[in-house]
Chain A
Amino acid sequence: MPSLKDLKNRIESVKSTRKITKAMQMVAAAKLRRAQEAAEAARPYAERMTAVVSGLAASVAGSEGAPRLLAGTGADRVHLLVVMTSERGLCGGFNTVIVRLARARITELLAAGKTVKILTVGKKGREQLKRDYGQYFVGHVDLSEVKRIGYDTAQGIARDILARFAATEFDVATIFYNRFQSVISQIPTAQQIIPAVFDSGAEASTLYDYEPSEEGILADLLPRSVATQIFTALLENAASEQGARMSAMDNATRNAGDMINKLTIVYNRSRQAAITKELIEIISGAEAL
């Protein structure tokens, strides 16, 4: 049985923990709103880009001059996995679900005898993957200095990936990130970016005149499309991270509240027990006289 003083200290400590988690939840809520706005603002560009590129891709696909970013290298041997996670912890299962998805893919690829290369974005995923798959790491993008994710950030990553592709370091690139659905639900997603895949539903838009040629435009747009996809993924990821943190901190705050209630009951009971005990001692002492 802990002493009354111990209980009191414990209640105080849980109370201050609750204050911290509450504050973190509110900060996450504010950041979430900003992240959601950013993701929202980026949507028109990404949608239009995908629409145009997939229209072009459908009309060029299969022809001889199709760019490598679209047609691929013709092989399917080396896979580059870009795993996007957060820089900070305390965000529930956010990082774990991405890593689990990536892990499953890695195991699958290795079992099929492919070569795997991993590029990590964000510290947390790197830490989790390091122990098992550290030997496959080819690079890391540190975002801890980045206050607000801008298009330049995505462009930097895209440039890195495209340079590796140009140097034929890999055949297929896939990005792993959390798609933001709602505050309580984020969906880990794997998306292949090189060679580009589009819904086969997109019809060839022969409607348009192209200046310069279709191939010329496509060659210009495909690298941009890669950057745009990465940008979208980064923004979705940022919003998901804040959402996950918000609900994790909400849970923690509620837990702390429950704990305080329980501890307070124990504290009151033992206080009463101590008083009763003292009374009995006094009374029985008096009777003995």
Chain B
Amino acid sequence: MADTMQFDLVSPERRLASVQAREVRIPGAEGDLTAMPGHAPMITTLRPGILTVVSAEGSTDYAVTGGFAEIAGDSVSVLAERSLPTAEVTQEVYNTMVAEARQQHASAREEAGEEAVEAAAKLLADMMAMGTHIGLDPNQASL
């Protein structure tokens, strides 16, 4: 069996990465998972988090929010609404992201039902966790 697989990371505006990867760690909606060549085909939605790609050249981290991952035996495609190499996620970028999540949380509380509030709260919590992981301070982001 081949020891690498085709990995594509695309956002609506551009293709961020297209490499031969050995493994991909994906922040799935129901828990993190690692996809390696020969993984059973599956589709999962993403939560905000860090996606790690391990290829022959080393590993690269991307911060992704929203979207889904499609895993087939010999390829993994991640379609993320927003994704950036973690190096490009500055406190400023992160602040706007958190502020958006906060706002969504607040508006969900006013308008939508219980479920939406929970979803938004989860999104916010995931966003916070992601910041801590990269080493950014989520509390600074109280714009």
Residues on A facing B (Cβ under 8 Å) = 38, 41-42, 44-46, 48-49, 52, 56, 150-151, 154, 207-212, 216-217, 220-221, 224, 227-228, 231
The 4 closest A-B pairs by CB, nearest first: A209-B42, A211-B44, A151-B12, A41-B14
Contact A208 B42 (CB under 8 A): yes
Q: How far is the CA of A217 from the CA of B46 in the complex (A)?
A: 10
Residue of B28, B42, B77 touching A48 (CB-CB under 8 A): B77
Cα(A48)–Cα(B67), bound, Å: 12
Q: By the criterion CB–CB under 8 Å, are B45 and A41 in contact? A: no
Q: Do A151 and B81 contact each other (CB < 8 Å), given the known contacts A45-B11, A45-B12? A: yes
The distance from the CB of A236 to the nearest CB of chain B, in whole angstroms, is: 14
Contacts beyond the supplied A44-B15, A211-B42: 15 A-B pairs with Cβ under 8 Å: A41-B13, A41-B14, A42-B12, A52-B68, A151-B11, A154-B12, A208-B41, A209-B42, A210-B42, A210-B43, A211-B30, A211-B43, A212-B44, A212-B45, A221-B45
Which of B12, B40, B79 has the most C-beta atoms of chain A within 10 angstroms of its own C-beta?
B12
Q: Is there contact, CB below 8 Å, between A48 and B13? A: no
B85 contacts A by Cβ under 8 Å:
no
In the complex the two chains form, is A212's CB within 8 Å of B77's CB? no
Please name all residues of chain B whose beta carbon is closer than 8 Å to the beta carbon of A212 when the two chains form the complex.
29-30, 44-45
| In the complex, chain A residues whose CB is within 8 Å of the CB of B30 | 211-212
Partner of B10, one of A48, A208, A210, A217: A48
Decide if B10 touches A44 in the complex (CB within 8 Å).
yes
What are 8 residue pairs bridging A and B, where the CB atoms are less than 8 Å apart in the complex? Answer: A44-B8, A48-B10, A49-B79, A151-B81, A209-B42, A210-B42, A211-B28, A211-B29
The reply to whether the CB of B118 lies closer than 8 angstroms to some CB of chain A is: no
Q: Is the CB of B68 within 8 A of A221?
A: yes
Q: B13: which of A42, A49, A221, A224 is its contact (CB, 8 Å)? A: A42
B interface residues, tally (CB under 8 Å): 23
Interface check B70, CB cutoff 8 A: yes
A-contact 0/1 string along B16-48, CB 8 Å cutoff: 000000000000111000000000111111000
Nearest-CB distance from B58 to chain A (Å)?
A: 24
- Contact assessment for A52 and B70 in the assembled complex, using a CB-CB cutoff below 8 Å: yes
* Nearest CB in chain B to that of A56: its residue: B43
Residues from chain B with Cβ under 8 Å of A208 in the complex: 41-43, 70
Contacting residues, chain B, for A216 (C-beta < 8 A): 45
A220 and B45 contact, CB distance less than 8 A: yes
B47: shortest Cβ distance to chain A, in Å? 11
A209-B10 contact given A52-B68, A224-B66, CB 8 Å threshold: no
CA distance A45 to B8 in the complex (A): 10
Q: Given that A151-B81, A210-B44 are contacting pairs, would A228 and B12 also be in contact in the complex, using a CB cutoff of 8 Å?
A: yes
Residue of A56, A224, A227 ringed by the most chain B CB atoms within 10 A = A224
Interface centre among A41, A42, A154, A211 (most CB of B within 10 A): A211
- Cβ contact within 8 Å between B45 and A209: no
A231, B12: Cβ atoms closer than 8 Å: yes
**C-alpha spacing A48/B81, complex, angstroms:** 13
Chain A residues, Cβ within 8 Å of B41: 207-209
Instruction: Tell me which of B13, B28, B81 contacts A38 (CB under 8 A).
Output: B13
A150 contact set on B, CB distance < 8 A: 13
The interface residues of chain A lying within 8 Å CB-to-CB of B66 are: 224
Q: Are B40 and A217 in contact (CB under 8 A)?
A: no
Q: Which of B13, B15, B45, B77 touches A217 (beta carbons < 8 Å)?
A: B45
- The smallest C-beta distance from B117 to any residue of chain A, in angstroms, reads 16
Cα(A46)–Cα(B10), bound, Å? 10
Partner of A224, one of B10, B40, B67: B67
Closest to B80 in A: A45
Q: What is the CA–CA distance of A56 and B81 in the complex, to the nearest angstrom?
A: 19
